[in-house]
Amino acid sequence: MSGLDALIAKSLKLIVKDNLGEVTFEKIETRLFEKYGIGFTQAVEDFGKLDFVLREFFGGGAEGIEKKILDKIVVMEESKDAEKQWITLEDSRLMELILRSLGDEDKKNIINTVMGEPKIISDILETSNIPQTSGYRKINSLIDDGMLLPKGYVTTHDGKKVTKYQAIFENVSISIEKNKIVVKILPTKESVDESRIMQIVCS
């Protein structure tokens, strides 16, 4: 489990316990265990499962609990254009993750290559002019961190399907406001549409 997930799990536990009581938390945890065989902390990593159980108990009310946690991590900017909504990162670990990726020259080139247009790994490496060994390692690291998302396939001449990847954002803004680093991202429409968590943030 990533540091970010552990952080979200802790925050979610406190939100449920403080607002709905220890008994409610235990009920949710018991149901998660009997349904999926996982604990609360693990369920945060697999947000779909946690969302399912919360909806089993609270119906549409689950959104309120989920939104409270997510507001501590990311904040949606008000925008008239529904397809171009900037997101301000509130969580320092998430900010660090983005800054570290963009601070690495190779990773920055990889992200730039797949911003807007999905590509297969070999094309990414070729366009960004990165050696294969370190290139694969860095692409995998970006996939693990959730910076790159699979987007469609390319069929090779021998019939194999190769996954194409695209950056989750189409623009990033980094600024310093009153001695505080502010990181904003403009997520792609696809990444918002496919993410249950982003759907909740945007709602």
Partner 1 sequence: MFSFKKSHREPDIVPEKISEKIDYKIFLVIAVGLVAYQFYLYSFKNPDDPNIELVETIVTTVTALVAAIAGFFIAKRYWKSSVFGTSYLALASGMLCNAAAERIYYFLEQQGQTPSPSIADWVWLAFYPLTFYHLARNIKFFKPKISTPVKAFVILLPVVITGVYAFLDFGQEEGLTTNYFLGLAYIVGSSVIMSAAILGAMIFRQGTLGTPWLILAIGIVLTTLGDNWYSYLDVYNQYSVTHPLNLLWYGGYLVIAYALYKHKKVL
Q: Which is nearer to partner 1, 49 or 68 (CB)?
A: 68
CB 60 within 8 A of CB 53: no
Judged by CB under 8 A, the stretch of 52-60, 87-95, 123-131, 191-199 that binds partner 1 is: 52-60
The yes or no reply on residue 64 touching partner 1 (CB under 8 A) is yes
Q: Could you tell me which residues come within 8 angstroms of residue 196 by beta carbon, excluding any fewer than 6 positions away? A: 47, 48, 51
CB 127 within 8 A of CB 37: no
The yes or no reply on residue 62 touching partner 1 (CB under 8 A) is yes
- Pick the closest to residue 64 from 19, 4, 7 (CA basis): 19
Q: Which of 5, 45, 46, 63 binds partner 1 (CB under 8 A)?
A: 63
Taking the complex as a whole, the smallest distance from the CB of residue 33 to partner 1 amounts, in Å, to 10
Per-residue three-class SS string for 67-132: HHHHCCCEEECCCCCCCCCCEEECCHHHHHHHHHHHHCHHHHHHHHHCCCCCEEHHHHHHHHCCCH
The yes or no reply on residue 39 touching partner 1 (CB under 8 A) is no
The yes or no reply on residue 49 touching partner 1 (CB under 8 A) is no
Q: Which of 31, 49, 72, 93 binds partner 1 (CB under 8 A)?
A: 31
The yes or no reply on residue 18 touching partner 1 (CB under 8 A) is yes
- CA 85, CA 72: separation in Å to the nearest integer? 18
Q: Can you tell me whether residue 26 is helix, strand or coil?
A: helix
Q: Which of 11, 24, 42, 127 binds partner 1 (CB under 8 A)?
A: 24
CA angle 49, 90, 141 (to 5 degrees): 65
Taking the complex as a whole, the smallest distance from the CB of residue 65 to partner 1 amounts, in Å, to 7
Q: Which of 3, 14, 21, 150 binds partner 1 (CB under 8 A)?
A: 21
Q: Which of 19, 92, 132, 163 binds partner 1 (CB under 8 A)?
A: 19
The yes or no reply on residue 82 touching partner 1 (CB under 8 A) is no
Task: Provide the binding-site residues for partner 1, judged by CB under 8 A.
Answer: 17-24, 27, 31, 34-35, 55-65, 67-68, 203
